[in-house]
């Protein structure tokens, strides 16, 4: 019989399951062991190897495997809505290793590439009201989502026209207003390395629904899934990397005065291979927000209240203090009614999202996780 | 995009040691209709919205740093608000400053007024109170930009008479109006410091009306370094009753 609290026994079980080709079972066993002995190098290596083998690359995105597991959700030291701390079990799923970029969002929806970023091949000049909606949105994105941009400024400056074709009036305007400061001005303007921001919940959900097939479900993670993933397999730690407070060397946070995003993969990933689960941008989840939810939520795959006005966002952002970038801090944002024929665009340069992925019909349910032989 | 005021979580998030701040598009670089929402600790200090208008070219520096926005973050400490002013003549040296504690959103309390405790209100105002100092000699280094600098040998700015809002360009008039409404006063160089260039009205007699003029950008015959030091905190003199 395997002692499920003994990391050595769990490690042996993981090796058995891996040898038998049950990678998911092995990942769960190794992950459980890691929660007890996170400093064991042999275990760390075995766990990372299996998680890497379970990684899925689809649609140009990297989906990291999050094993089924039980973790303590919430924080006794956190805000009242993070309490009580309670055990939650979530099924396995995949989560993109970074927040969705503007380049990926446009590419996956078949829109024009940034910095135009418009659907249906329409141009900015047509003046239609619906395009004005997007125009304001893209002004925001150009300031914050460009790979090398060091600081948001006048939106007109963030439009990388070909100098040879730039009109005199536009050139004059640039001369008056200045120029954009970029970390490497020689690089082409790019939009694939920073998170997409200014995303409303409906926009995030729209991409997930467009990608979903009969075999694979894409969606926003539930709040419990998000927190499980953010913890990276560590038990009880307030940050994805452990208990040490965030610093400028491991987290994009507390830079409100700088008005910029850092590249998503700039800092080390957590134990599941996920980047920037603390700081950078708030991330949408699928759950409605309820401050009292933890007092009565289901202990297996909780999916939030049935109704509400605000959806939960998690993770904190580049503008927030260290207290708000913990794995347990809860925040919410109103879900807007979509204008006719469109979804609603967001307006915050510190809210983005990442996609969860579930194999339809083959995800391990809460009851069919690994079982120790003879248990 | 719905161009509506950003909603706050104060009706859902229970009270805590953290406070939520909203920074809208007229305050920070975001774009039309945007907003930045952030959480920070109350003990970090407080923020003030700055309103200022200068008839001449100016550069504002707070504690040695040019603020990126008109929302200034203040710790509970001593501070130095400084200007570098350039004008074609002393008759264009006139500025008004008013900084007022910005709205503080306290989760939960905002919606439940019985729990609401008004935040302390601080203001920084340009006034002829002897605490706004200037020199016409370029400081030797940047020490003057920081609190604690000895400016006892510097001269003192005085109230600038006869300034009307109509003389302020339309683009900046609302800033000047707001600064005056909050209690700010236009300050200028004193009439008897003897340094006024001969191209202007008789020294100190600003009978040439202040008026925004392109000439302020063309030449800078007058250069001033201005500083004002103040303290914020529960016992600060700036705390209003």
Contact A321/B32, CB-based, under 8 Å? no
Q: Cα separation of A219 and A210, whole Å?
A: 10
Choose among A79, A80, A319: nearest Cβ to B38.
A319
> Are the C-beta atoms of A219 and A212 separated by less than 8 Å?
yes
In a domain, B31, yes or no: no
Q: For the complex shown, is ipTM > 0.95? A: no
In a domain, B223, yes or no: yes
Using a CB-CB cut-off of 8 Å, the residues of chain B touching A133 are 1
Contact A348/B7, CB-based, under 8 Å? no
The per-residue pLDDT for A374 is: 35
pLDDT top residue among A189 and B201 = A189
pLDDT above 70 (res A124): no
Based on DSSP, count helices (H) and strands (E) in chain A, helices before strands: 8, 11
The per-residue pLDDT for B49 is: 82
Contact B2/A336, CB-based, under 8 Å? yes
The per-residue pLDDT for B216 is: 44
Task: Provide the domain limits for residue B204.
Answer: 48-100+120-231
The per-residue pLDDT for B170 is: 78
Q: Cα separation of B82 and B227, whole Å?
A: 4
Using a CB-CB cut-off of 8 Å, the residues of chain A touching B33 are 136, 347
Looking at chain B, which residue has its C-alpha nearest residue A257?
B68
Does an H or E element contain A152, and which? Answer: none
Using a CB-CB cut-off of 8 Å, the residues of chain B touching A258 are 68
In a domain, B91, yes or no: yes
Q: How do residues B35-53 score in pLDDT, each as one tens digit?
A: 788 888 777 777 788 888 8
In A314-333, the residues whose Cβ lies within 8 Å of chain B are 316-317, 319-321, 323-324, 329-333
CB contacts < 8 Å between A and B, how many? 108
The shortest C-alpha distance from B41 to chain A (Å) reads: 7
The per-residue pLDDT for B108 is: 34
Q: Cα separation of B136 and B226, whole Å?
A: 9
The shortest C-alpha distance from B73 to chain A (Å) reads: 9
Q: What is the mean pLDDT of residues B11-25?
A: 69
Q: Cα separation of A47 and A32, whole Å?
A: 10
Number of residues assigned to chain B: 241
In a domain, B114, yes or no: no
Q: What is the mean pLDDT of residues A161-177?
A: 69
The per-residue pLDDT for B193 is: 59
In a domain, B144, yes or no: yes
Average model confidence (pLDDT) across chain B: 72
Using a CB-CB cut-off of 8 Å, the residues of chain A touching B73 are 257
SS3 at position A136: helix
In a domain, B200, yes or no: yes
CA-based nearest residue to A26, from A34, A35, A36, A16: A16
How far is the CA of B16 from the CAs of A3, A274, B13, B108, B110, in angstroms?
41, 29, 9, 9, 13
In a domain, B222, yes or no: yes
CA A16 to chain centre: 32
pLDDT band at B106 (very low <50, low <70, confident <90, very high): very low
Average model confidence (pLDDT) across chain A: 88
Please return the burial class of A368, using the count of CB atoms within 10 Å of its CB with bins 0-12, 13-18 and 19+.
exposed
CA-based nearest residue to A46, from A31, A35, A59: A31
Q: How do residues B162-198 score in pLDDT, each as one tens digit?
A: 787 877 877 788 888 888 888 889 999 887 655 543 3
Using a CB-CB cut-off of 8 Å, the residues of chain A touching B23 are 256
The per-residue pLDDT for B6 is: 37
Choose among B2, B29, B44: nearest Cβ to A344.
B2
Q: What is the mean pLDDT of residues A179-199?
A: 91
Give yes or no for A336 touching B (CB within 8 A). yes
Over the Cα atoms of chain A, what is R_g?
A: 22
Give yes or no for A181 touching B (CB within 8 A). no
**Count of beta carbons in the 10 Å neighbourhood of residue B227:** 22
List beta partners, residue B84: B59, B225
> Are the C-beta atoms of A315 and A232 separated by less than 8 Å?
no
The per-residue pLDDT for A138 is: 85
The per-residue pLDDT for A116 is: 87
- Structural domain count of chain B: 1
Using a CB-CB cut-off of 8 Å, the residues of chain B touching A336 are 2
CA-based nearest residue to B71, from B16, B20, B29: B29
Which letter does DSSP use for residue A239 in this model? B
Query: In degrees rounded to 5, what are phi and psi of residue B114?
Result: -65, -20
How far is the CA of A264 from the CAs of A285, A315, A323, B113, in angstroms?
19, 13, 20, 41
Angle at A140 between CA A138 and CA A144, to 5 degrees: 110
> Are the C-beta atoms of A178 and A157 separated by less than 8 Å?
yes
In a domain, B236, yes or no: no
């Amino acid at each position: 019989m395997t002692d499920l609290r003994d990391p050595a026994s769990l490690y042996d079980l993981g090796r058995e399951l891996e040898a038998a080709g049950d990678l998911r079972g092995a990942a769960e066993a190794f992950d459980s062991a890691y929660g007890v002995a996170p400093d064991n190098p042999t275990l760390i290596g075995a766990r990372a190897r299996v998680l890497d083998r379970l990684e899925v690359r689809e649609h140009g995105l990297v989906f990291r495997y999050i094993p089924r597991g039980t973790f303590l959700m919430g924080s006794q030291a956190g805000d009242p809505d993070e309490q009580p701390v309670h055990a939650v079990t979530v099924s396995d799923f995949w989560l993109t290793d970074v927040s969705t970029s503007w380049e990926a969002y446009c590419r996956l929806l078949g829109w024009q590439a940034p910095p135009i970023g418009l659907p249906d091949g329409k141009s900015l000049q047509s003046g239609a009201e619906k395009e004005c909606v997007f125009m304001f949105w893209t002004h925001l994105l150009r300031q914050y989502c460009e790979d090398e941009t060091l600081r948001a400024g006048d939106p007109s400056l963030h439009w990388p026209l070909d100098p040879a074709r730039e009109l005199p009036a536009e050139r004059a305007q640039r001369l008056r207003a200045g120029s954009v400061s970029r970390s490497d001005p020689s690089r082409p303007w790019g939009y694939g390395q920073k998170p997409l921001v200014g995303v409303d919940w409906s926009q995030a959900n729209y991409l997930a629904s467009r990608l979903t097939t009969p075999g694979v479900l894409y969606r926003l993670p539930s709040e419990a899934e998000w927190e499980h993933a953010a913890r990276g397999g560590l038990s009880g730690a307030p940050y994805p990397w452990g208990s040490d407070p965030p610093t400028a060397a491991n987290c994009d946070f507390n830079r409100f005065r700088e008005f910029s995003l850092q590249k998503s993969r700039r800092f080390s990933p957590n134990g599941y291979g996920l980047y920037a689960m603390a700081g950078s941008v708030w991330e949408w989840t699928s759950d409605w927000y309820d401050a009292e939810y933890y007092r009565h939520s289901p202990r297996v795959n909780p999916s939030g209240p049935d109704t509400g006005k605000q959806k939960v966002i998690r993770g904190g952002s580049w503008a927030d203090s260290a207290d708000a970038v913990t794995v347990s801090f809860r925040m919410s944002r109103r879900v807007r009614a979509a204008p006719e024929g469109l979804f609603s665009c967001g307006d915050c340069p510190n809210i983005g999202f990442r996609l969860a992925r579930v194999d339809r019909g083959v995800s391990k349910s809460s009851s069919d996780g690994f079982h120790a032989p003879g248990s | 995009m719905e161009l509506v005021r950003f909603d706050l979580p104060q009706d859902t998030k229970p009270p805590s040691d953290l406070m939520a701040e909203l920074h809208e598009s007229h305050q920070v670089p975001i774009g039309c209709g945007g907003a930045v929402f952030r959480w920070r600790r109350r003990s970090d200090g407080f923020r003030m919205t700055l309103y200022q208008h200068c008839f001449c070219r100016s550069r504002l520096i707070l504690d040695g740093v040019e603020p990126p926005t008109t929302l200034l973050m203040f710790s509970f400490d001593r501070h130095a608000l400084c200007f570098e002013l350039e004008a074609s003549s002393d008759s264009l040296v006139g500025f008004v400053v008013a900084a007022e504690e910005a709205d503080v959103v306290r989760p939960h309390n905002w919606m439940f007024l019985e729990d609401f405790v008004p935040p302390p209100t601080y203001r920084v105002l340009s006034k002829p109170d002897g605490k706004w100092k200037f020199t016409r000699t370029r400081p030797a280094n940047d020490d003057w930009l920081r609190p604690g600098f000895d400016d006892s040998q510097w001269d003192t700015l005085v109230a600038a008479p006869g300034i009307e809002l109509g003389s302020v360009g339309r683009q900046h008039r609302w800033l000047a109006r707001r600064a005056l409404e909050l209690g700010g006063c236009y300050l200028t160089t004193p009439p008897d410091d003897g340094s006024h260039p001969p191209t202007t009205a008789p020294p100190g007699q600003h009978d040439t009306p202040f008026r925004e003029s392109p000439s302020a950008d063309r030449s800078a015959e007058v250069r001033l370094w201005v500083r004002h030091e103040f303290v914020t905190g529960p016992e600060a003199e700036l705390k209003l009753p």
